[in-house]
């Protein structure tokens, strides 16, 4: 089945930028390799929020798709997030990523304007019907303000090319209902800090920003939950959430990049208007690297 091969743990790929905000190709390639070789992920979700996508030009998005595909080749599955409030851009990116050989596309729900469901449905069908590829809905209501009902997801899923959803929401009732009604659709958990309850409810995998550094634990949580070893998975989720709390308290993307830098990966800077990491933030990130990735080998080797 099409969806079966797409299951698993995906890093929402970070992008390395230089101090002037230009794509750092060398650094981006290193981040891809780190995810494949150290985090052992099943795939990469390219062009999402974690990739600072919504601050980039169309050409920059295309270049990131190119670099990620060239570096990863066919070692892992690749999902291209092509969504945009500019539907013409979304279609252009969908065609571009499909031509590059991406395994699937994803698109954030159209945001900012209060689109009704008919407009949202038209958006998805316009994108996916323009290419010979598959679509994963990117639902992230706390950033987009777009909440869809179970029936509305079902209406989108009537298009066989729409194979699943990246579910970045804390509505576990909706998640459970969706899993029961659509057993053949892919559901990815989108909140790293809520991965265990999502896994218990039967998601097919997870897509997360912290997986760029914490992918090993993410897989452990997912696989232990699948084996019914919830108490063991919970211990790893506790450690993971301690890490996430520390990261969020220090600056999300800046801190993950600083941890990677401390691990020898040229993760670079964030794109403005995101702020540059301060010396204090970098010190705290180094402390996190030591605490969670150098002194926690017992946890990592469960």
In this predicted structure, what is the pLDDT of residue 111?
87
Does the annotation count 123 as an active-site position?
Answer: no
273 cis-preceded (ω within 30 degrees of 0): yes
Q: Which residues contact 172 (CB under 8 A, 6 or more apart)?
A: 194, 197, 198, 201
What distance in Å separates the CA atoms of residue 291 and residue 26, rounded to the nearest whole number?
28
Token couple for 111 = 């945001």
What is the per-residue pLDDT for 103? 98
Q: Which of 138, 188, 253, 269 is catalytic?
A: 138
Question: Annotation-wise, does 204 bind a ligand?
Answer: no
Domain boundaries, the chain: 7-228
171 known ligand binder? no
Q: What does each C-alpha distance from 68 to 28, 29, 75, 149, 236 come to in angstroms? A: 8, 7, 11, 34, 29
pLDDT of residue 298: 43
**SS3 of the chain: helix, strand, coil, percent, to 5:** 55, 15, 35
Q: What is the pLDDT of residue 147?
A: 79
126: annotated binding-site residue?
no
State how beta strands 135-139 and 43-46 pair: unpaired
The pLDDT value recorded for residue 292 is 97
pLDDT of residue 293: 96
- Low-confidence residues in the chain, pLDDT < 70: 1-3, 141-146, 295-302
Q: Is 11 annotated as a binding residue?
A: no
Predicted structure pTM score? 0.95
Q: Check whether 190 is labelled as a binding-site residue.
A: yes
Q: Is 275 a known active-site residue?
A: no
Q: So what's the pLDDT on residue 3?
A: 59
Q: What is the pLDDT of residues 17-70, one digit of tens each?
A: 999 999 999 999 999 999 999 999 999 999 999 999 999 999 999 999 999 999
The catalytically annotated residue of 69, 77, 134, 166 is: 166
Domain 7-228 falls under CATH 3.20.20.70? yes
CB atoms within 10 A of CB 119: 12
Greatest extent of the chain over all pairs of C-alpha atoms, in Å? 52
Which of 178, 197, 187 minimizes the C-alpha distance to 240?
197
Return the pLDDT at 209. 97
């Amino acid at each position: 089945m099409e969806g079966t091969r797409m299951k698993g743990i995906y890093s929402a790929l970070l992008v390395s930028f230089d101090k002037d905000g230009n794509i750092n190709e060398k650094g981006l390639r290193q981040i891809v390799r780190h995810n494949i070789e150290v985090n052992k992920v099943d795939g990469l979700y390219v062009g999402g929020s974690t990739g600072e996508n919504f601050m980039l030009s169309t050409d920059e998005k295309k270049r990131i798709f190119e670099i990620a595909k060239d570096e990863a080749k066919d070692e892992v599955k690749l999902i291209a997030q092509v969504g945009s409030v500019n539907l013409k851009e979304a279609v252009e990116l969908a065609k571009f990523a499909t031509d590059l050989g991406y395994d699937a596309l994803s698109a954030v729900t159209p945001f900012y304007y209060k689109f009704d469901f008919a407009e949202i449905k038209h958006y998805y069908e316009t994108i996916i019907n323009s290419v010979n590829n598959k679509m994963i809905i990117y639902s992230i209501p706390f950033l987009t303000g777009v909440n869809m009902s179970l029936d509305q997801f079902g209406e989108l899923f009537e298009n066989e090319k729409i194979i699943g959803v990246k579910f970045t929401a804390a509505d576990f009732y909706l998640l459970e209902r969706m899993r029961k009604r659509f057993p053949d659709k892919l559901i990815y958990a989108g909140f790293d800090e809520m991965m265990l309850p999502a896994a218990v409810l039967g998601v097919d995998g997870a897509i997360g920003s912290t997986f760029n550094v914490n992918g090993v634990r993410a897989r452990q949580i997912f696989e232990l939950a699948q084996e019914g070893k919830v108490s063991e998975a919970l211990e790893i989720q506790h450690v993971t959430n301690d890490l996430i709390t520390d990261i969020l308290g220090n600056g999300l993307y800046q801190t993950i990049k600083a941890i990677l830098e401390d691990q020898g990966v040229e993760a670079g800077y964030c794109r403005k208007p995101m702020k540059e990491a301060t010396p204090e933030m970098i010190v705290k990130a180094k402390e996190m690297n030591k605490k969670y990735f150098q002194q926690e080998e017992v946890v990592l080797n469960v």
